[in-house]
Structure 1
Amino acid sequence: MNRRTNIVFITAVVAIAAFASAVFLYQRHERERAFEQAQAQLGILVRDHSPIMGPERAPVTIVEFFDPACEACRAFYPYVKQILAAYPKDVRLVIRYTPFHREASVVGVQILEAARDQGRYQHVMEALLEAQPVWASHSVNAIGRAWEYARAGGLDIERARAHAAAGSAERMLEKDMVDVKAVGVRATPTFFVNGKLLPSPDPRVLLDMVKAEVENKR
């Protein structure tokens, strides 16, 4: 190898090393930026008014931007329930209402908040989700039937309608929509696990993220 070839070779090695170093620094910067964003978002992901399922002081928090009229939320719920059952002391679920289906969403939230007031939140949620294809149908206006299905979940309808008439659900929705826009949520369900965005709508990925956070906290 002559002197000129040797110089070219060394220059190429240096260039590759510089490129690899730049990629490493960029990736580290992106990880740090993502972590900082997640930490900054923690303050708006969880609010005092938000419904919680699971221990209030659990070390791992799943935040779900949720719409009771959303088909994908309905499909995801059994997996979320399994995760809560698998980690009864370690994981809590925080619900953030995201009314992307308009009237059906608002009625669903009214019912859920009335159920929370009566201590029947999870029971009524499951009743609504089970019957969602009927009352939240896009082709048939059957939104009023949501109240019937909520009754099957143990809801006192008279008390619930009075609670809804007071407007507390609408006030909560206004607050939640401010955070929905701030976080940039555009679809439901959207999940965060201890402030980290679920990268893909896959129950297995959600379970893996939760498991990793639980193990990290123990």
Structure 2
Amino acid sequence: MKNKKLVFFTLVIIVAAFVAAITVYKINTKNSLAAYKDTNNAPFVRENSYSFGENKANVVIVEYMDPQCPPCKVFNSVVNDILKQYYKDVKFVVRYLANHDNSAYVIKILEASRAQNKYKQTLDVVFKYQEQWADPLNPRPELIWQYLSKTDLDMEKFKKDFLSIDISDMLEQDYEDATTLGVQGTPTFFVNGKELETLSYKAFFDLVEKEIFE
């Protein structure tokens, strides 16, 4: 019985220490984020970061995402709803964390689409068919070209642009900025420098609307 009580109290102490460490980490992260006043500049945004929106309300939303990340696919629909409703009010910025084996390849596809101003269309296709090309048992990222060929993209130009660009510096910079901002995984969102702490539809909209209307 004494041993069981000892184990129980040891677990309680470990859990309490873990919770305390997480709390301290969050406080330190918030304090460090507060030091960056200009959320439309580094480390939140870089010159080569792709963005959407007219930003008339001066609200900058930054997403760290990975095109092979299943939660990023889920939240793409939330992002689309926010852009549909508040496109004129916000600036939505995409940053990358290439955490999966085929992420860099797909990010290069996304970046190549910018030459035809088809980034969002390409991103939606990438997420729509993510379960097919990113099947963990048989990943085939090259399938994305097949799906994109059904769109209005100039595929010959697209493939040339894909072969000619180098995204290594961008990925390295995004990783360094993510580290600076305390990003732990994808998707991670910042709205005017405030991190979205709960990944839910309501929490996301609440944070965006608070920044727009208050």
TM norm. shorter chain > 0.5: yes
- Name the structure 2 match of 1:181: 179
Structure 1, gaps ≥5 residues long: 1-28
- Name the structure 2 match of 1:89: 88
1:163 correspondence with 2:161: yes
Counterpart-to-counterpart distance in 2, 1:168 and 1:54: 26
Counterpart-to-counterpart distance in 2, 1:32 and 1:112: 31
Structure 2, gaps ≥5 residues long: 1-26
> Quick check: 2:196–2:204 contact (8 Å CA) kept in 1?
yes
The alignment covers a number of residue pairs equal to 187
> Quick check: 2:55–2:87 contact (8 Å CA) kept in 1?
no
Counterpart-to-counterpart distance in 1, 2:152 and 2:208: 31
- Candidates 37, 43, 54, aligned match of 1:39: 37
- Candidates 170, 191, 194, aligned match of 1:193: 191
Amino acid of the structure 2 residue aligned with 1:158: E
Amino acid of the structure 1 residue aligned with 2:48: H
Counterpart-to-counterpart distance in 1, 2:60 and 2:107: 21
- Name the structure 1 match of 2:205: 207
> Quick check: 2:112–2:165 contact (8 Å CA) kept in 1?
no
Amino acid of the structure 2 residue aligned with 1:71: P
Give the drift of 1:35. Answer: 6.2
Counterpart-to-counterpart distance in 2, 1:151 and 1:38: 42
1:70 correspondence with 2:69: yes
Give the drift of 1:83. Answer: 1.0
SS of residue paired to 2:185: coil
Matches within 5 A, 1:65-144: 65-102=64-101, 104-144=102-142
Identity of aligned residues (%): 33
Counterpart-to-counterpart distance in 2, 1:95 and 1:142: 24
Give the drift of 1:85. Answer: 1.2
Counterpart-to-counterpart distance in 2, 1:173 and 1:32: 24
Max Rg structure: 1
Amino acid of the structure 1 residue aligned with 2:34: E
TM-score, normalised relative to structure 1: 0.78
Counterpart-to-counterpart distance in 2, 1:44 and 1:35: 10
More helix by share: 1
Counterpart-to-counterpart distance in 2, 1:172 and 1:131: 25
> Quick check: 1:127–1:152 contact (8 Å CA) kept in 2?
no
Counterpart-to-counterpart distance in 1, 2:29 and 2:50: 30
Give the drift of 1:106. Answer: 1.1
TM-score, normalised relative to structure 2: 0.79
Give the drift of 1:188. Answer: 0.6
> Quick check: 1:96–1:176 contact (8 Å CA) kept in 2?
yes
Counterpart-to-counterpart distance in 2, 1:32 and 1:177: 19
Give the drift of 1:63. Answer: 0.2
The CA RMSD over aligned residues, in Å, is 2.3
Counterpart-to-counterpart distance in 2, 1:179 and 1:34: 13
> Quick check: 2:29–2:181 contact (8 Å CA) kept in 1?
no
